[in-house]
Homo-oligomer: A and B are copies of this chain.
Amino acid sequence: MNASKSEVAYQLLHTRITEGTFTPGYRLVLGTIAAELGCSVVPVREAIRRLEAEGLVSFERNVGATVAAADNALYLHTMQTLAIIEGAATALSAPFVDADQLAAARAINQAMTDLLTDFDPPRFTELNNEFHQVLYRNCPNPHILDLVQRGWNRLALMRSSSFTHIPGRARESVREHGQLLDLIEAQAPAAAIEQSARAHRTNTLNAYLAAANMPASPL
């Protein structure tokens, strides 16, 4: 038994939020959650404050906690941040990506390509996550790794909303994946890899912004 109750509470709430059981706006009441977990409110409170620090939950003193709302601004800021961080993470990770990982990434991207003809958004999103995780997993900087994960969590918050799947973006996306893999395999300069990985995210963001008649991200 290696998990404190606050850890258990944290994990539970975390998965419920990122998997969409608790949608944005859902009210997290200390007593209710504590009762469900069979523990007291103290560890639940701690778990909620951790989730707040990660941006998954918004918390107001003497009022309570709700799953963070997902609006256009949050999507913009999250994707912008993720583009920057993940670009750096991928570049820093690239020298340590071995042949097996490269092959795995290519296989995932092939699966995504196959999926284009019979499009399945949730599956596509899942494969996309796997693809990118393979590419940044070796990043030797733990801070950056942590921040990428945080960005993904924030992004998961918006999965249920209409923030994903701009028409035509999926096909474009797998092409960009291929280019990125080529750069990594050729051991291109870090700056080139960073630029490619960031642009991939930024393109997705800008496709969304264009559809919403908003100006493109400057970075």
Contact = CB atoms under 8 A, between A and B. Distances in A.
Contact of A84 (B76, B80, B144): B144
Residue picked from A77, A142, A219, most chain B C-beta under 10 Å: A219
- How many copies of the polypeptide does the oligomer hold? 2
Given A219-B92, A219-B194, A81 B49 contact: no
Contact residues of A: prevailing secondary structure: helix
Interface residues of A, number: 32
A176 interface: no
Nearest to A3: B61
B42 A77 contact: no
A159 interface: no
Contacts of A49: 46, 49-50
A85 interface: yes
Contacts of A85: 84-85
Given A42-B42, A46-B46, A147 B219 contact: no
27 contacts: A4-B61, A42-B42, A49-B49, A49-B50, A50-B53, A53-B53, A53-B54, A55-B143, A76-B141, A77-B141, A77-B142, A77-B143, A80-B92, A80-B141, A80-B143, A80-B144, A81-B141, A81-B143, A81-B144, A81-B147, A84-B85, A84-B144, A92-B219, A95-B218, A190-B219, A191-B219, A194-B219
